[in-house]
Chain A
Amino acid sequence: MMLLDIANLSRRFSSGGRDVAALSDVSLTLASGETLGLAGASGSGKSTLARILLRLIPADGGTIHFEENDWLKLSGAELRRRRAKMQMVFQDILGAFNPRATVASVLDDPLRIHEIVPKAERPKEIAALLERVGLPASYATRSIREVSGGQRQRIAIARAIATRPSLIVLDEAVSALDVSIRGKILELLVELQQERGIAYLFVSHDLAVLRAVSHRIAVMEAGRLVEIGAASQVIENPRSSAARALIAAVPRLVTGLPERHHYDV
């Protein structure tokens, strides 16, 4: 049994009389501890897929099985409880936190809601989480507005691993970061995966990033899944025009050999 099994997922948006298929008939699977890169141009439906998966927006049709639950049928308290196992890291490093929050309160919320550790041990757990993502424990008292973009994304990752999930959806998680920080965050993600066996659905438009971390890559175009296969195969021998266009869009310097090895796992 796969960790995640998406079958025939579809979703339409209608605005101003125009009816757009954001997702049509998308099926894919993900095994425990695996990274699936989800590539596609803007508007290809990859973020819609991520948001349906996280139950942030409803699907029109299709099924999702996650950890052997009929994921789209869950609701209320049962859904909130199971959410611990599927977490998300957002693209917007500014908008993903309540502007009034402190680093400690951001990490305290998931620990409290899912009763991961007893109340008395929460500060210790928060310190451990911060250290795990490469931040000093003294950051806990800072306001979220006082930390830099790269550090915020580390905190977002700490929040995502706080509930001990088996799948993390990374929605353009490194796109907003400086190139020098990007590599370090990707290394951290790979380390966490090897250590805890977390599966990643890594959504990005940047094939250079996906190639560095993905076991398999899926390519989307206009709401359809047009290609899926091993990362090296999709990049070196793309069959769909969408994949070829994405490869052509990667700057030469990044696809060049010396740089690539830096990201390779």
Chain B
Amino acid sequence: MRRIQNLMKTSEGAIGFGILATLMLVALFAPILSPGDPLRIAGSPLLAPFIDPAFPLGTDRLGRDVLAGIIHGTRTSLVVGIAAAIAAIAIGLCVGLTAGFAGGAVDEALMRVVDAFQIVPSFLLALAFVSVIGASVPVVVLAIALGAWADPARLTRAQVLSFRERDYVAAARVIGMHPVEIAWKEILPNALPPVLALSAIIVAAAILTEAALSFLGLGDPNIVTWGSMIAEGRNVLRSSPSLSIFPGIALVVTVIGVYLLSEGLTKALAGRRSEA
């Protein structure tokens, strides 16, 4: 609870938290805010925004409601972003913890794999992965996680290396604590905060990657996403730029929200450390 209070004390944290909380609520209540399939044809095509109160943001080339698309697109963006980040952090933590603890040949081998993943541009990796396996939400999540787990792995390993030589870990060994318990109870909770601060950046990157994949037509075609909406609008960019601009703004606001939250989180954690 105290950590959340610290977070809210920083202006970045408060704004970021506000933006993300709003988006979460929109995503959660999407079916109530905008009932029905957002991909259905709802009105006449290419209705300009701010004219018809039934379609505040207008309609696209097929007469689909833009506002409904943005509301439902929030779900996809947040679900994919958060799921990919959780998967990336989970893989990264396991690999980093193992490498940092085992040391020697295991460490060498794991870190070379990490190197390999860090060298390949993560977007190309996701692109190749989705093109080969086919577009669906779980595949997109996995594809994004594959390109994002290397950073948390490296950070976790560095944290473990710095913590496992501390005297309190030696003290835990002296009282006969099992190595797994030492890793889990003594090292992980202390090594975790910087990795968690990194996770917000991964969420933001994942949301952008998902949008880029959808923009290239590699998203799941059966659900509406901001990336696919921008791609749709591109065909009529000169006559109806609002079709691309609105989902673009949604994307920018989301990513800024995540970044601000991450910034606030880092500050709150740093404050806690200096106070300790």
Interface size on A, residues (CB 8 A): 30
Contact assessment for A163 and B190 in the assembled complex, using a CB-CB cutoff below 8 Å: no
Stretch at the interface among B32-40, B93-101, B135-143, B164-172: B164-172
With a cutoff of 8 Å between Cβ atoms, the chain B residues found around residue A99 in the complex are 168, 190, 276
Q: Which of B166, B167, B171, B186 has the most CB of A within 10 A?
A: B171
Known A80-B178, A100-B189, A100-B190; judge A95-B173 contact (CB<8 A): no
Contact assessment for B176 and A81 in the assembled complex, using a CB-CB cutoff below 8 Å: yes
In B247-276, the 8 Å CB interface with A consists of: 276
Contact assessment for A87 and B190 in the assembled complex, using a CB-CB cutoff below 8 Å: no
With a cutoff of 8 Å between Cβ atoms, the chain A residues found around residue B174 in the complex are 54, 56, 83, 86-88
Give the dominant DSSP class at B's interface.
helix
Contact assessment for B189 and A110 in the assembled complex, using a CB-CB cutoff below 8 Å: no
Least Cβ–Cβ distance between B170 and chain A, in angstroms: 5
Least Cβ–Cβ distance between B180 and chain A, in angstroms: 12
**Can you name the residue of chain B whose Cβ is closest to the Cβ of A163?**
B175
Contact assessment for B176 and A95 in the assembled complex, using a CB-CB cutoff below 8 Å: no
Contact assessment for A145 and B276 in the assembled complex, using a CB-CB cutoff below 8 Å: yes
**Can you name the residue of chain A whose Cβ is closest to the Cβ of B174?**
A88
Contact assessment for A84 and B171 in the assembled complex, using a CB-CB cutoff below 8 Å: no
Asked if A98 is at the interface of the complex by the 8 Å CB criterion, the answer is yes
With a cutoff of 8 Å between Cβ atoms, the chain B residues found around residue A91 in the complex are 167
Report how far A54 CA is from B174 CA in the complex, Å.
7
With a cutoff of 8 Å between Cβ atoms, the chain A residues found around residue B170 in the complex are 51, 54, 56, 88, 90
Known A95-B166, A95-B168, A145-B276; judge A159-B175 contact (CB<8 A): yes
In B176-201, the 8 Å CB interface with A consists of: 176-178, 186, 189-190
Q: Which of B174, B176, B178 has the most CB of A within 10 A?
A: B174
**Can you name the residue of chain A whose Cβ is closest to the Cβ of B178?**
A80
In A134-149, the 8 Å CB interface with B consists of: 145
With a cutoff of 8 Å between Cβ atoms, the chain A residues found around residue B177 in the complex are 80, 109, 113
Contact assessment for A96 and B168 in the assembled complex, using a CB-CB cutoff below 8 Å: yes
Least Cβ–Cβ distance between A67 and chain B, in angstroms: 15
Contact assessment for B171 and A90 in the assembled complex, using a CB-CB cutoff below 8 Å: yes
Report how far A145 CA is from B177 CA in the complex, Å.
22
With a cutoff of 8 Å between Cβ atoms, the chain B residues found around residue A114 in the complex are 175-176
Report how far A162 CA is from B173 CA in the complex, Å.
15
**Can you name the residue of chain A whose Cβ is closest to the Cβ of B273?**
A99
Contact assessment for A56 and B173 in the assembled complex, using a CB-CB cutoff below 8 Å: yes
Asked if A263 is at the interface of the complex by the 8 Å CB criterion, the answer is no
Known A98-B186, A99-B190; judge A88-B171 contact (CB<8 A): yes
With a cutoff of 8 Å between Cβ atoms, the chain B residues found around residue A83 in the complex are 173-176
Least Cβ–Cβ distance between B162 and chain A, in angstroms: 12
Contact assessment for A97 and B171 in the assembled complex, using a CB-CB cutoff below 8 Å: yes
Asked if A5 is at the interface of the complex by the 8 Å CB criterion, the answer is no
Report how far A109 CA is from B166 CA in the complex, Å.
18
Asked if A92 is at the interface of the complex by the 8 Å CB criterion, the answer is yes
Contact assessment for B168 and A97 in the assembled complex, using a CB-CB cutoff below 8 Å: yes
Per-residue CB contact flags for chain A residues 60-101 toward chain B (1 = under 8 Å, else 0) read 000000000000000000011101101110111001111110
With a cutoff of 8 Å between Cβ atoms, the chain A residues found around residue B171 in the complex are 88, 90, 96-97, 156, 159
**Can you name the residue of chain B whose Cβ is closest to the Cβ of A79?**
B176
With a cutoff of 8 Å between Cβ atoms, the chain A residues found around residue B190 in the complex are 98-100
Report how far A81 CA is from B190 CA in the complex, Å.
26
With a cutoff of 8 Å between Cβ atoms, the chain B residues found around residue A159 in the complex are 171, 175
With a cutoff of 8 Å between Cβ atoms, the chain A residues found around residue B176 in the complex are 79-81, 83-84, 110, 113-114, 163
Least Cβ–Cβ distance between B174 and chain A, in angstroms: 5
With a cutoff of 8 Å between Cβ atoms, the chain A residues found around residue B167 in the complex are 90-92, 95-96
**Can you name the residue of chain B whose Cβ is closest to the Cβ of A83?**
B176
Least Cβ–Cβ distance between A48 and chain B, in angstroms: 13
Contact assessment for B168 and A109 in the assembled complex, using a CB-CB cutoff below 8 Å: no
Report how far A109 CA is from B176 CA in the complex, Å.
9
Q: Which residues of A contact B (CB under 8 A)?
A: 51, 54-56, 79-81, 83-84, 86-88, 90-92, 95-100, 109-110, 113-114, 145, 156, 159, 162-163
Can you name 6 A-B pairs with beta carbons within 8 Å?
A56-B174, A87-B175, A96-B167, A98-B190, A110-B176, A145-B276
**4 residue pairs, one from A and one from B, having the closest CB atoms:** A80-B176, A83-B176, A95-B167, A110-B175
